[in-house]
Amino acid sequence: MALLHEGSSRGRTQTGWLDSRHTFSFGAFHDPGRMGHRSLRVMNEDRVIPGAGFPSHDHEHMEILTYVVFGALAHRDSLGNGSTIRAGDIQRMSAGSGITHSEMNASAEEPVHFLQIWVLPERRDLAPSYEQTAFDPAQSANRFAAIAAPGGGPGRVRLHQDASLLLARLEDGREAAYSFAPGRAGFLQVVSGRIEIAGETLSAGDGLQFEGQDLGDGATCAVTARSDCEVLLFDLA
């Protein structure tokens, strides 16, 4: 059966500069029942105060996606990449056999609000790599559009895993639908606003974990906006 991850039930890390909510086990938050879903391992919603952030640290064997909701995030890594990630961008960092990076609020005046998502790669010891692209807002207006996928492409980054991340930005009252192939699974995250799905109302911060068959005939995920909203949807092998 589908599993609702209420926003208020997530783990939480609070410091003087960071407020982070964890859908799945992460850091000091450990729940054996929340270890991820298929290849989706981490779904963190982070807010960082002006001028602060994550100093240089190491990662390996993970596909890391960053999606900025508000503000701007400055990225630096051991491959020599330096960039600013803003709302309307999607970033993918393949940690692979090992990478060091930092993520800092790019503003000294405004907070930054972003989602950081970890996906298990198709295999270990990939060569570390980095990709960032802007997507066309019109592509996700009142419908689901891929912003990360195995093959990459215009307006999307390449994931080294049989998984796709889709975005929909819906106006109040509009509907978007996406059908899953047999054997696939999904995870839906409400970034902002309120939606209705299968008779249930979900609000910003809520997530829905499901297998394709949980959606009934046609395995279609149909979302209706109950306010202007922003929704992320994973299609997982």
Strand order in the sheet with 99-105: 53-59, 99-105, 72-77, 82-86
Beta bridge partners of 157: 148
**Contact yes or no for 71/148 (Cβ under 8 A):** no
The pLDDT value given to residue 1: 79
**Closest of 142, 152, 120, 232 to residue 186, by C-alpha:** 232
Mean pLDDT on 129-154: 96
Give pLDDT tens digits for 177-226. Answer: 999 999 999 999 999 999 999 999 999 999 999 999 999 888 999 999 99
The contacts of residue 217 (CB under 8 Å, 6+ apart) are: none
Give pLDDT tens digits for 37-71. Answer: 999 999 999 999 999 999 999 999 999 999 999 99
Expressed in angstroms, the distance from the first to the final Cα of the chain is 17
Please, what sign has the CA dihedral across residues 142, 144, 146, 147? positive
The pLDDT value given to residue 129: 98
Give pLDDT tens digits for 88-112. Answer: 999 999 999 999 999 999 999 999 9
The pLDDT value given to residue 75: 97
